[in-house]
Amino acid sequence: MKELLDTLAGWQAEGVGVGRAVVVRTFGSAPRPEGAVLLRADDGRIAGSVSGGCVEGAAAEEIERARRTGNARVVRYGISDEEAWDVGLACGGTIDVLIQPDVPAEAVAAAQASLAQGGTGAVVATTLPLGSPPPAFGAHEPGTGSPPVPPVIVTDGGDASDSLGSSQLDDALRAEAADVLLRGTSRTAEIEGLSMFLEAFPIRPRLVIVGAVEVARSLVRIAGELGYETVVVDGRTAFITADRFPTADRLVVGWPDEVADEIALGPNDAVAVLSHDVKFDEPAIVEALRRGCRYVGAVGSRKTQADRRERLSAAGVGDADLARLRGPVGLDLGGRAPAETALAIMAEIVADRYGGSGAPMRTRTPANAGA
């Protein structure tokens, strides 16, 4: 949705009505993930994609129908739906697509807030129409569907814009929303009997690198390619320069525990401690764990890690926090060059974010294979 904000604003400025299709479930080798969006303007223009091209026309027609009826519906597209729609996904997967007569203002506001400087993340929770998921591919009667129900917005701080009707439902929604924002991916969840599409609008993920070493230079480049904001912290002014880190978003000179407030270190951050200096890296680890950063990793051999854990434990770091510390840092890729080490670290950060195993795709079973 974020990448379509400018297009949507342009169409709306022209006075053209716009409806939306959004992927709410995927099965098998789906071409686009949950949260993928297609917009259709009343003059026939489309933008975005829910399938990589194979069912865009059918989805656009459904948006046009929804614009006429004012009702939302969920339509299922898959490889075996020829009798219903004569439309199939070439990849063999199946997708459920929520068709909406309008683009929810809540989704637009959440997308804008997540992109703003110092912005906030949020989940837009939409109750899916009755009868979702469909019993068969594309199965529905023309003109049927449900009037849209106003979504509930849950911020990354846990505040909700409305209640689902009970504290039990509200608590369950908050828990699901927190997990969705942590992973940064949208999904449909069953919440106490309600099917709700949780559309994630996380803020840009951030990687804080402690230690302006050679590995850090490669790590900044790789993280940047993956959409991460990058911050490099080091107490040595000669090392932390724009010449050495031309693509870093921010360079901070100082002790990491002392600049934590300055950079607003918090739960949305991944932290990689690369300094190889006890007096510099251990205060950084303690502070990152204390603030609940989503990933905390530190370089060092197994012996170094064992000695470090003893010191951290003696300093009052609890067993639960020590268990969160990744060290030795990174996945075992076998490489030892700085860029290879950086790749191993970033691979572990990505796997941790999405709950990946880090195992080769060929070893994964069809039930858990994502592509």
Split at pLDDT 50, 70, 90, the class of 133 is low
Residue 142 pLDDT:
42
Tell me if residue 202 falls in helix, strand or coil: coil
Domains of the chain, first to last: 2-201 (no CATH), 206-354 (3.40.50.720)
Task: Provide φ and ψ at 73, rounded to 5°.
Answer: -155, 165
Q: What is the mean pLDDT of the chain?
A: 88
pLDDT digits (tens, 9 = 90+) for 260-302: 999 999 988 999 999 888 888 999 999 999 999 999 999 999 9
**147 band by pLDDT with thresholds 50, 70 and 90:** low
Closest CA to 346 of 58, 201, 61, 356: 356
Grouping H, G, I as helix, E, B as strand and the rest as coil, residue 172 is helix
Q: What pLDDT does residue 134 have?
A: 60
Name the percent of the chain lying above pLDDT 90: 67
pLDDT per position as a tens digit, 209-256: 999 999 999 999 999 999 899 999 999 999 999 999 999 999 999 988
Q: Each residue of 162-221: pLDDT tens digit? A: 999 899 999 999 999 998 987 888 999 999 888 999 999 988 889 999 999 999 999 999
- Kindly give, in sequence order, each residue whose CB lies less than 8 Å from that of residue 105, ignoring residues fewer than 6 positions away: none
